[in-house]
Protein backbone atom coordinates (compact mmCIF):
# COMPACT_ATOMS: atom_id res chain seq x y z
CA UNK A 1 0.00 0.00 0.00
CA UNK A 2 1.10 3.46 -0.71
CA UNK A 3 4.22 2.45 -2.38
CA UNK A 4 5.32 3.35 -5.75
CA UNK A 5 4.70 0.57 -8.16
CA UNK A 6 8.01 -0.71 -9.34
CA UNK A 7 6.36 -2.83 -11.95
CA UNK A 8 6.39 0.15 -14.22
CA UNK A 9 10.06 0.57 -13.84
CA UNK A 10 10.77 -1.95 -16.50
CA UNK A 11 10.15 0.86 -18.94
CA UNK A 12 12.11 3.38 -16.93
CA UNK A 13 15.77 4.11 -17.12
CA UNK A 14 17.87 3.32 -14.10
CA UNK A 15 21.45 3.77 -13.09
CA UNK A 16 23.70 6.68 -13.75
CA UNK A 17 22.31 9.83 -15.19
CA UNK A 18 23.55 11.05 -18.54
CA UNK A 19 24.43 14.71 -19.10
CA UNK A 20 21.42 14.97 -21.40
CA UNK A 21 19.11 13.77 -18.68
CA UNK A 22 20.65 16.18 -16.22
CA UNK A 23 20.12 18.99 -18.64
CA UNK A 24 16.47 18.09 -19.19
CA UNK A 25 15.82 17.91 -15.49
CA UNK A 26 17.66 21.14 -14.74
CA UNK A 27 15.84 22.95 -17.50
CA UNK A 28 12.47 21.69 -16.38
CA UNK A 29 12.99 22.60 -12.74
CA UNK A 30 14.39 25.99 -13.63
CA UNK A 31 11.27 26.66 -15.63
CA UNK A 32 8.52 24.99 -13.65
CA UNK A 33 9.97 24.05 -10.30
CA UNK A 34 9.19 20.71 -8.72
CA UNK A 35 5.89 20.97 -6.98
CA UNK A 36 5.12 17.36 -7.80
CA UNK A 37 8.00 14.99 -8.36
CA UNK A 38 5.71 12.35 -9.78
CA UNK A 39 4.85 14.60 -12.68
CA UNK A 40 8.38 15.86 -13.30
CA UNK A 41 9.65 13.00 -15.47
CA UNK A 42 6.69 13.15 -17.80
CA UNK A 43 6.81 16.91 -18.14
CA UNK A 44 10.57 16.96 -18.49
CA UNK A 45 10.60 14.18 -21.04
CA UNK A 46 12.59 11.79 -18.90
CA UNK A 47 12.32 8.03 -18.74
CA UNK A 48 12.82 8.08 -15.00
CA UNK A 49 10.57 7.74 -12.02
CA UNK A 50 9.82 10.83 -9.98
CA UNK A 51 11.74 9.46 -7.11
CA UNK A 52 14.86 9.14 -9.17
CA UNK A 53 14.45 12.71 -10.42
CA UNK A 54 14.05 14.00 -6.92
CA UNK A 55 17.15 12.18 -5.76
CA UNK A 56 19.19 13.42 -8.67
CA UNK A 57 18.14 16.97 -7.97
CA UNK A 58 18.74 16.83 -4.26
CA UNK A 59 22.05 15.02 -4.37
CA UNK A 60 23.61 16.40 -7.48
CA UNK A 61 21.88 19.12 -9.45
CA UNK A 62 20.78 21.54 -6.77
CA UNK A 63 22.59 24.82 -7.40
CA UNK A 64 23.37 25.41 -3.74
CA UNK A 65 25.40 22.26 -3.36
CA UNK A 66 28.91 22.54 -2.14
CA UNK A 67 31.11 20.13 -3.98
CA UNK A 68 34.46 18.85 -2.95
CA UNK A 69 36.00 17.38 0.12
CA UNK A 70 34.67 17.91 3.58
CA UNK A 71 36.73 20.21 5.72
CA UNK A 72 37.97 19.14 9.13
CA UNK A 73 35.51 21.56 10.66
CA UNK A 74 32.64 19.96 8.81
CA UNK A 75 33.74 16.53 9.95
CA UNK A 76 33.88 17.73 13.52
CA UNK A 77 30.40 19.13 13.25
CA UNK A 78 29.15 15.87 11.84
CA UNK A 79 30.68 13.92 14.71
CA UNK A 80 29.17 16.25 17.26
CA UNK A 81 25.77 16.18 15.66
CA UNK A 82 25.84 12.44 15.22
CA UNK A 83 26.48 12.09 18.92
CA UNK A 84 23.27 13.99 19.54
CA UNK A 85 21.10 12.98 16.65
CA UNK A 86 22.32 9.53 15.70
CA UNK A 87 21.76 8.46 12.11
CA UNK A 88 19.37 11.27 11.36
CA UNK A 89 21.32 12.25 8.31
CA UNK A 90 18.85 14.74 7.00
CA UNK A 91 18.89 16.64 10.29
CA UNK A 92 22.65 16.61 10.32
CA UNK A 93 22.71 17.78 6.73
CA UNK A 94 20.43 20.65 7.65
CA UNK A 95 23.25 22.04 9.77
CA UNK A 96 25.76 21.86 6.97
CA UNK A 97 24.76 24.15 4.14
CA UNK A 98 25.51 22.73 0.74
CA UNK A 99 25.88 19.18 1.95
CA UNK A 100 23.38 16.42 1.37
CA UNK A 101 22.29 13.72 3.75
CA UNK A 102 23.55 11.14 1.31
CA UNK A 103 26.94 12.74 1.14
CA UNK A 104 27.20 12.90 4.91
CA UNK A 105 26.01 9.35 5.30
CA UNK A 106 28.62 8.16 2.82
CA UNK A 107 31.33 10.12 4.56
CA UNK A 108 30.29 8.70 7.89
CA UNK A 109 30.25 5.13 6.69
CA UNK A 110 33.44 5.30 4.70
CA UNK A 111 35.69 7.61 6.70
CA UNK A 112 34.52 8.97 10.00
CA UNK A 113 33.51 5.65 11.48
CA UNK A 114 36.95 4.33 10.75
CA UNK A 115 38.67 7.37 12.19
CA UNK A 116 36.67 7.16 15.40
CA UNK A 117 37.44 3.51 15.83
CA UNK A 118 41.10 4.22 15.32
CA UNK A 119 40.95 6.72 18.13
CA UNK A 120 39.18 4.26 20.39
CA UNK A 121 35.69 5.69 20.07
CA UNK A 122 32.71 3.57 19.28
CA UNK A 123 31.07 5.40 16.39
CA UNK A 124 27.65 4.16 17.38
CA UNK A 125 27.71 5.13 21.01
CA UNK A 126 30.47 7.74 20.94
CA UNK A 127 31.84 6.04 23.99
CA UNK A 128 35.27 4.56 24.35
CA UNK A 129 35.42 1.17 22.74
CA UNK A 130 37.17 -0.46 25.66
CA UNK A 131 34.99 0.95 28.40
CA UNK A 132 38.05 1.90 30.36
CA UNK A 133 37.55 2.67 34.00
CA UNK A 134 39.09 5.67 35.61
CA UNK A 135 42.47 5.19 37.11
CA UNK A 136 44.77 7.07 39.32
CA UNK A 137 45.77 8.96 36.29
CA UNK A 138 42.42 10.58 36.41
CA UNK A 139 43.09 11.88 39.83
CA UNK A 140 46.27 13.71 39.23
CA UNK A 141 46.32 16.93 41.07
CA UNK A 142 48.33 19.90 40.04
CA UNK A 143 48.07 21.58 43.39
CA UNK A 144 47.09 24.88 41.94
CA UNK A 145 43.99 23.68 40.35
CA UNK A 146 42.08 21.06 42.19
CA UNK A 147 38.53 20.11 42.59
CA UNK A 148 37.53 18.19 45.63
CA UNK A 149 34.25 16.49 45.54
CA UNK A 150 32.89 15.21 48.75
CA UNK A 151 29.89 13.07 49.43
CA UNK A 152 29.79 11.72 45.99
CA UNK A 153 28.61 8.31 46.86
CA UNK A 154 28.96 6.70 43.56
CA UNK A 155 31.82 6.61 41.36
CA UNK A 156 32.61 8.97 38.67
CA UNK A 157 34.01 6.88 36.00
CA UNK A 158 35.73 8.77 33.46
CA UNK A 159 36.45 7.16 30.58
CA UNK A 160 38.56 8.35 27.92
CA UNK A 161 39.56 11.58 26.50
CA UNK A 162 41.16 11.66 23.25
CA UNK A 163 42.82 14.74 22.24
CA UNK A 164 43.53 15.33 18.67
CA UNK A 165 46.93 16.76 18.51
CA UNK A 166 46.19 18.60 15.34
CA UNK A 167 45.60 22.29 15.22
CA UNK A 168 41.90 21.79 15.61
CA UNK A 169 42.31 20.42 19.06
CA UNK A 170 39.18 18.45 19.17
CA UNK A 171 38.73 16.17 22.09
CA UNK A 172 36.22 13.91 23.59
CA UNK A 173 35.57 12.60 26.97
CA UNK A 174 32.88 10.50 28.38
CA UNK A 175 31.83 10.00 31.88
CA UNK A 176 29.26 7.82 33.36
CA UNK A 177 27.58 7.15 36.61
CA UNK A 178 28.12 10.43 38.29
CA UNK A 179 25.75 10.10 41.13
CA UNK A 180 25.15 12.12 44.21
CA UNK A 181 22.33 11.45 46.56
CA UNK A 182 23.34 13.78 49.31
CA UNK A 183 21.68 17.04 49.93
CA UNK A 184 24.77 19.10 49.51
CA UNK A 185 27.93 18.46 47.65
CA UNK A 186 30.65 20.98 47.51
CA UNK A 187 33.12 21.27 44.77
CA UNK A 188 36.00 23.55 45.38
CA UNK A 189 37.13 25.18 42.27
CA UNK A 190 40.48 26.60 41.64
CA UNK A 191 41.11 30.07 40.41
CA UNK A 192 41.35 28.87 36.91
CA UNK A 193 37.94 28.61 35.40
CA UNK A 194 38.98 25.75 33.27
CA UNK A 195 38.70 22.52 35.11
CA UNK A 196 40.31 20.30 32.68
CA UNK A 197 43.25 18.13 32.92
CA UNK A 198 44.51 16.19 30.07
CA UNK A 199 47.51 14.45 31.35
CA UNK A 200 47.57 11.05 29.82
CA UNK A 201 44.70 12.30 27.81
CA UNK A 202 42.25 11.42 30.46
CA UNK A 203 40.22 13.46 32.75
CA UNK A 204 36.98 15.24 33.19
CA UNK A 205 36.60 18.46 31.40
CA UNK A 206 34.45 21.18 32.77
CA UNK A 207 35.37 24.07 30.69
CA UNK A 208 33.48 27.11 29.50
CA UNK A 209 34.94 26.49 26.13
CA UNK A 210 33.57 23.01 26.00
CA UNK A 211 30.70 22.08 23.92
CA UNK A 212 28.93 19.10 25.29
CA UNK A 213 27.85 17.16 22.31
CA UNK A 214 25.69 14.41 23.54
CA UNK A 215 24.01 12.79 26.42
CA UNK A 216 23.10 9.27 25.72
CA UNK A 217 20.92 8.77 28.69
CA UNK A 218 20.18 10.43 31.92
CA UNK A 219 17.72 10.14 34.69
CA UNK A 220 18.50 13.42 36.27
CA UNK A 221 21.27 15.54 35.12
CA UNK A 222 23.24 18.27 36.68
CA UNK A 223 23.29 21.61 35.05
CA UNK A 224 25.83 24.25 35.47
CA UNK A 225 26.48 27.60 34.01
CA UNK A 226 29.59 26.35 32.42
CA UNK A 227 27.48 24.47 30.02
CA UNK A 228 24.79 26.99 29.74
CA UNK A 229 25.90 28.48 26.52
CA UNK A 230 25.89 25.23 24.74
CA UNK A 231 22.52 24.29 26.17
CA UNK A 232 23.49 20.72 25.95
CA UNK A 233 23.32 19.60 29.49
CA UNK A 234 19.92 18.53 30.52
CA UNK A 235 18.19 19.58 33.65
CA UNK A 236 15.12 17.83 34.81
CA UNK A 237 12.39 18.92 37.11
CA UNK A 238 14.38 17.48 39.93
CA UNK A 239 16.87 20.22 39.52
CA UNK A 240 20.08 20.15 41.36
CA UNK A 241 21.41 23.36 42.65
CA UNK A 242 24.69 24.65 41.61
CA UNK A 243 26.22 27.74 42.95
CA UNK A 244 29.06 29.24 41.15
CA UNK A 245 31.28 32.13 42.03
CA UNK A 246 30.90 35.47 40.42
CA UNK A 247 33.75 36.10 38.06
CA UNK A 248 33.59 39.76 38.84
CA UNK A 249 33.74 39.33 42.53
CA UNK A 250 36.27 37.98 44.94
CA UNK A 251 33.47 36.43 46.87
CA UNK A 252 33.33 32.85 46.00
CA UNK A 253 29.67 32.43 46.59
CA UNK A 254 28.10 35.54 45.33
CA UNK A 255 25.69 35.70 42.56
CA UNK A 256 24.76 32.14 42.10
CA UNK A 257 24.09 31.59 38.50
CA UNK A 258 20.84 30.03 39.37
CA UNK A 259 19.68 32.82 41.60
CA UNK A 260 16.40 33.91 40.22
CA UNK A 261 17.12 32.10 37.10
CA UNK A 262 16.02 28.68 38.07
CA UNK A 263 12.50 29.12 36.88
CA UNK A 264 13.62 29.96 33.45
CA UNK A 265 16.14 27.23 33.22
CA UNK A 266 15.17 24.91 30.44
CA UNK A 267 14.00 21.53 31.48
CA UNK A 268 15.50 18.98 29.28
CA UNK A 269 13.92 15.76 30.09
CA UNK A 270 13.96 13.04 27.61
CA UNK A 271 16.51 10.42 27.02
CA UNK A 272 19.04 10.66 24.28
CA UNK A 273 18.73 14.38 24.31
CA UNK A 274 16.31 14.51 21.48
CA UNK A 275 13.71 16.70 22.99
CA UNK A 276 13.44 19.18 25.72
CA UNK A 277 10.85 21.08 27.62
CA UNK A 278 10.89 24.56 28.86
CA UNK A 279 9.53 25.09 32.30
CA UNK A 280 5.84 25.58 32.12
CA UNK A 281 5.67 24.55 28.55
CA UNK A 282 3.65 21.62 27.53
CA UNK A 283 5.01 21.40 24.07
CA UNK A 284 8.14 19.58 23.36
CA UNK A 285 10.63 20.92 20.98
CA UNK A 286 12.83 18.76 18.94
CA UNK A 287 16.55 18.93 18.85
CA UNK A 288 16.39 19.70 15.21
CA UNK A 289 14.45 22.83 16.02
CA UNK A 290 16.96 23.83 18.58
CA UNK A 291 19.80 23.14 16.25
CA UNK A 292 18.10 25.11 13.53
CA UNK A 293 18.00 28.02 15.84
CA UNK A 294 14.29 28.09 16.47
CA UNK A 295 14.82 27.94 20.14
CA UNK A 296 15.37 31.13 22.04
CA UNK A 297 17.30 30.69 25.17
CA UNK A 298 15.64 32.02 28.27
CA UNK A 299 16.94 35.29 29.49
CA UNK A 300 19.53 34.59 32.07
CA UNK A 301 21.99 37.39 31.67
CA UNK A 302 23.96 36.68 34.76
CA UNK A 303 24.06 33.04 33.85
CA UNK A 304 25.20 33.48 30.37
CA UNK A 305 28.06 35.62 31.45
CA UNK A 306 29.19 33.39 34.22
CA UNK A 307 31.56 30.67 33.48
CA UNK A 308 32.82 28.65 36.36
CA UNK A 309 35.24 30.53 38.49
CA UNK A 310 37.04 30.29 41.72
CA UNK A 311 34.98 29.34 44.66
CA UNK A 312 32.66 26.59 45.66
CA UNK A 313 30.03 24.80 43.80
CA UNK A 314 27.22 23.51 45.84
CA UNK A 315 25.15 20.70 44.60
CA UNK A 316 21.91 20.05 46.29
CA UNK A 317 19.40 17.42 45.58
CA UNK A 318 19.93 14.10 44.08
CA UNK A 319 21.35 13.90 40.70
CA UNK A 320 22.52 11.18 38.52
CA UNK A 321 24.30 11.41 35.33
CA UNK A 322 24.60 8.39 33.21
CA UNK A 323 26.91 8.54 30.36
CA UNK A 324 27.81 11.89 29.08
CA UNK A 325 29.95 12.49 26.10
CA UNK A 326 31.72 15.72 25.77
CA UNK A 327 33.28 17.17 22.75
CA UNK A 328 35.41 20.21 23.10
CA UNK A 329 37.20 22.62 20.99
CA UNK A 330 39.65 25.34 21.66
CA UNK A 331 41.58 23.23 24.01
CA UNK A 332 43.86 25.25 26.18
CA UNK A 333 46.96 23.79 27.63
CA UNK A 334 48.04 23.91 31.25
CA UNK A 335 44.67 23.57 32.70
CA UNK A 336 44.16 22.79 36.31
CA UNK A 337 42.99 19.40 37.25
CA UNK A 338 40.02 17.80 38.69
CA UNK A 339 40.23 15.40 41.53
CA UNK A 340 37.65 13.06 42.83
Partner DNA sequence: AAGTTGAGCAACCGCGGTGAT
Partner DNA sequence: TATCACCGCGGTTGCTCAACT
Binding site for DNA (CB under 7 A): 1-4, 6, 9, 13-17, 36-38, 48, 50-52, 54-56, 59-60, 69, 87-91, 101-103, 105-107, 109-111, 114
Q: Which is nearer to DNA, 99 or 309 (CB)?
A: 99
Q: Which is nearer to DNA, 3 or 11 (CB)?
A: 3
Provide, rounded to whole angstroms, the least separation between the CB of residue 25 and DNA: 11
Provide, rounded to whole angstroms, the least separation between the CB of residue 289 and DNA: 14
Q: Which is nearer to DNA, 88 or 177 (CB)?
A: 88
Provide, rounded to whole angstroms, the least separation between the CB of residue 327 and DNA: 20
Dihedral sign, Cα of residue 168, residue 70, residue 231, residue 185: negative
Cβ 67 vs Cβ 46: under 8 Å: no
Q: Which is nearer to DNA, 43 or 131 (CB)?
A: 43
Q: Which is nearer to DNA, 164 or 322 (CB)?
A: 164
Provide, rounded to whole angstroms, the least separation between the CB of residue 89 and DNA: 4
Provide, rounded to whole angstroms, the least separation between the CB of residue 170 and DNA: 19
Q: Which is nearer to DNA, 81 or 278 (CB)?
A: 81
Cα distances (Å, whole numbers) of residue 140 to 76, 231, 294, 333 = 29, 29, 42, 15
Provide, rounded to whole angstroms, the least separation between the CB of residue 235 and DNA: 27
Amino acid sequence: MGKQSYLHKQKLRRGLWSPEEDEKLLKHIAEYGHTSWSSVPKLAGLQRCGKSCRLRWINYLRPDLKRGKFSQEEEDIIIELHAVLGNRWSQIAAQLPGRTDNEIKNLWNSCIKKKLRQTGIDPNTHKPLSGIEGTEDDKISSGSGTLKQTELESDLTLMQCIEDSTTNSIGYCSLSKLCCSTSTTTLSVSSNPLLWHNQTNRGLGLNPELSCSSITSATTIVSSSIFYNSMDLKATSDLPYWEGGNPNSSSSKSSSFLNGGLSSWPHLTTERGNKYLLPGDSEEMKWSEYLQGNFLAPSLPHCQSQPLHAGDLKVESHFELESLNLCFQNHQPELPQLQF
